[in-house]
Structure 1
Amino acid sequence: MPRIREGFKGERAVILPTFLIEELKQDILGRELYITDIGYYPQASFHYRKRSSEEVGEFVLIYCVEGEGWFELDNRRHTVTANQFFILPEHQAHTYGSKAENPWTIYWMHFNGIKAAFFSSGFDRPCNITPQEHSRIKERLGLFEEIYSSISSGYSKNYMLYATTSLFHFLGSMKFIGEYRDCGSMDRNTSKDITQLAIHFMKENLNKKISLADIAREVKLSVSYFSNLFEEKTGSSPLRYLIYLRIQEACHYLDFTNLKINQISPLVGYDDSLYFSRLFNKTMGMSPSEYKARKKG
Structure 2
Amino acid sequence: MNKLNFIFTIKHPEHTYIKTHQHGCYELVYYVQGYGKTQIGSGQYVFRPNTFAIIPPHALHDENHGAEDAVMMCIGYQSDHPELKNLSGIYEDAEDGRTGEFISRMVEEFSQQQDGFSEMLDLMVAELNIHLQRLLGKKGISPQKEDLLQYVINYMDEHFRQKIPIDSLAVMSGYSYDRFRHLFKERIGVSPLRYLLLKRLDYAKNLLLTRMLVSEIASEAGFVNDVQFCSLFKREIGLTPKLFRKTCTPVSPTPPPR
TM-score by length of 2: 0.45
Give the number of the structure whose residues are more often strand, by fraction: 2
Structure showing greater Rg:
2
TM-score by length of 1: 0.40
